[in-house]
Structure 1
Amino acid sequence: MQLGLGPILYNWAPERWRDFYFRMADEAPVDVVSVGEIVCSKRSPFFADHLPSVIERLKSAGKQVLLGSLILVSQRRERRETEELAAVNDDLVEVNDLTCLKALAGRPHAIGPFVNIYNEAAAAFHAARGAARICLPPELPLSSVAAIAAALPNAAIEVFAFGRVPLAISARCYHARVHKLAKDNCRFVCEKDADGLAVKTLERQDFLTINGVQTLSFTCMNLLGDIGALRKAEVGSLRLSPQDCDMVAVAETFRDVLDGREDAEGGSRRLAALYPKVPFSNGFLHGSPGFSYLVQ
C-alpha cells in the first residue's frame, strides 16, 4: 500500500512551505505528493517562485508529483489559471474542482478528495475520462470505499487517513471576518494560524477549525487501526494531510504500521505524542458521527 502526502492547506510562510517539501522529499517514506495552493488563489503568488524547485526535489527523490487545482473556482482569473495548470504541465494534475476537467480533455489525471465521488457510477465516469488516481471524500463509509475500489481495479484508490478533515469550502473568508476585515483586504490574516483557527460551540466545546475560506474538523483523522479493513477493501494508498507537526515522523509511523514493524495501538500512541491536544477520529469510515473515534 502506498502513502500519499496531500497539499498543504494552511497559509505557511513561503520559506517554511518550501523547506517542508524539501524535507519530505529527502526523509519521508511517501510515494506520491500533491503540491500547489488549492484553498485560496490569493496565496498562490507567495509560493509560485518555489514551486519548480520543490517539484524537482520531489522527483529527484523518486516521488510522484501531483499538481493540485483550486477547490473552488469562482472568478475568471481563477478559471484561467486552472486551465493553464491543466494545459502546460506534463505532471499529473489533481482535480479538486470540475472546472478543471474540460482543459484536461481526457488526459490522465488524478481526482482529489474535494470532488464528490460517492458511488461506483461516479467513480467509473471519471475513470473513463482519464482519472488514474482517485482520493475519495473523507466522509465515505468503508462499505462505499470497498464498492468503489472493487469496481475500479485498474485505478489507484486513495483514502484520507491522517489530518484535520476538510469539510467545506466557501466564497466567504472566515478568517477575514473574525478579524473584522473584508475578503478583498484580508491582509492574509490566515497566516497567523499555522494549523487553522479552532472554533468552539456556545458551550465552549471544541467544534471545527477554520482556514481562510475552508472549514475543517477540529479532530484529526487517524486510520491506523483500520489499515487491515482498508487492505481487505483493496485500497491502494493512504493520504496524509500536512499539519503543524513533524510530518516525517507521522509518515514513518504509518509506514511502520503498514510494514508490520509496529502495531496500530503503538502507532497511535506515537501519533498522539507527535500531534498532541488534538483528538483522533475515524467515525466517517464506520458510518458514525465523523468526530467519533472507534478503536478496533
Structure 2
Amino acid sequence: MTAKLTMGPVLFNWKPETLRDFYFRIADEAPVDTVHVGEVVCSKRTPFFEPYIAPVVERLQAAGKEVVLSSLALIMSEREMAAARSLASDAEVLVEANDISVAAITAGRPFVAGALLNIYNEGTLAALESMGAIRVCLPAELSGDAIAALASAAKSEIEIQAFGRLPLAISARCYAARARQLTKDACQYVCADDPDGMEVETLDEIPFLAVNGTQTMSSHYMDLLPDLVSLRARGVSRFRLWPQNVDMVAVSGLFRAVLDGRMAVAEAEDQLAGLCPGVQFANGYVHGRAGHLFVEDDE
C-alpha cells in the first residue's frame, strides 16, 4: 500500500485570510491525503480563524481530503479545557490530541496521538492505543531503528515528521512577546511578525533555534526525502509535512513524487532547495546522529 502524506496544522500566527487561502489551495492542488486544522500553540489566536473553520473543512472534505482537528499542546485554563472538551466531543471529525488531557476526554473514541505527546516506547504506544489512538505521530528525535521497533509493535498507523521546522517544546511563557519587552497578556500578537518563526542565534551568531510565540522550534527544516523509501519499508505508513511560509503545494508534490517513484531523490532535493532559499535541512535524528546534521546515506 502506498504511503500517505499528511499536512500538519499551521503552527504559526498567519493572518486569518492567509490561513484560509492556504487551506483552500491545499484542498484544490496539494497531493496530500490528510489535512490538520486547528490552533496548537496559543489559544489567544483561536478567535481570529474561527469564522473560517467551517468553510475550510467543507472545502477540504469536498476535495476528498481527510480532515483532522488538532488540539492545543498546552492546556492551562478552564476556558482552554472547555474548548478541548468541545473539540473532543465532535464525533463527525477525527481529533488530534496534542495534550494528554485531550486523549483522556475522547472517552474511547478514535483519535490521533499528536507529535507533541511523548511516545518513545512500546508501553506508551500501547497505553495510547488502549485509549483509542488509531494513528500516532512519533517524536522527531527517534532513530530509524526505534521507529521500526515501534512500527512493529503498533496496532495503529505510524506517522513521522518529514518536513519543516520541528516543534521541540511549548511553554507557559511567550518568548516572542518577551523579546519585544511585552508581556504575554499584552503581547499585541507580535508572533504574527514572524510567519516562519523568529530565528534565535548563539552568542557566536550561529542559527540555533526558532521561536513561535510560546513554542520552541528547530532552526533547520526536517527533510526526509532521502529516507522516505527506507522508512516506508520499516513500517511507516504516513509522513507529515509541517506548513512553512513556502509553496507547500510544490513541497508536497516533491514528497509524493519520490514516494511514488516518479522522481529521483537528487532531483527532488534540488527542487526543494529552490523552494526554500537560505534554509538548512536536517535528518540526523533518523540516522541516529545529531539532529541538526543532514545525512545523505548511512555510509
Residue in 2 aligned with 1:39? 41
1:76-225 paired onto structure 2 within 5 Å? 76-152=78-154, 154-225=155-226
* Helix, strand or coil at the partner of 1:88: coil
* Helix, strand or coil at the partner of 1:256: helix
1:208-247 paired onto structure 2 within 5 Å? 208-247=209-248
Tell me if the contact between 2:172 and 2:214 (Cα under 8 Å) persists in the aligned partners.
yes
1:231 CA drift (Å): 1.3
Select which of 5, 10, 16 maps to 1:14. 16
* Helix, strand or coil at the partner of 1:50: helix
Q: Which of 234-243 and 72-81 deviates more?
A: 72-81
1:89 CA drift (Å): 4.2
Q: TM-score, normalised by structure 1?
A: 0.98
Structure 2 Cα separation of the partners of residues 102 and 112 of structure 1:
13
C-alpha deviations, 1:167-209, integer Å up to 9, x for none? 1110000000011000000000000011010011000111110
Structure 2 Cα separation of the partners of residues 21 and 105 of structure 1:
30
Letter in 2 for 1:217: S
Q: TM-score, normalised by structure 2?
A: 0.97
* Helix, strand or coil at the partner of 1:165: strand
* Helix, strand or coil at the partner of 2:60: helix
Letter in 2 for 1:263: A
C-alpha deviations, 1:110-167, integer Å up to 9, x for none? 1110000001111111112211111111111111110111111x41110000001111
Letter in 2 for 1:65: V
Q: Which of 26-35 and 283-292 deviates more?
A: 283-292
1:101 CA drift (Å): 2.0
1:49 CA drift (Å): 0.4
Letter in 1 for 2:27: A
Residue in 2 aligned with 1:293? 294
Tell me if the contact between 2:103 and 2:113 (Cα under 8 Å) persists in the aligned partners.
no
1:288 CA drift (Å): 1.1
Letter in 2 for 1:193: D
* Helix, strand or coil at the partner of 2:89: helix
Q: Which of 127-136 and 240-249 deviates more?
A: 127-136
Number of residue pairs aligned between Structure 1 and Structure 2: 295
Give unmatched runs, 5+ long, in structure 2: none
Moved beyond 3 Å, runs of 4+: none
Asked if residue 273 in structure 1 is aligned to residue 277 in structure 2, the reply is no
Residue in 2 aligned with 1:69? 71
Give unmatched runs, 5+ long, in structure 1: none
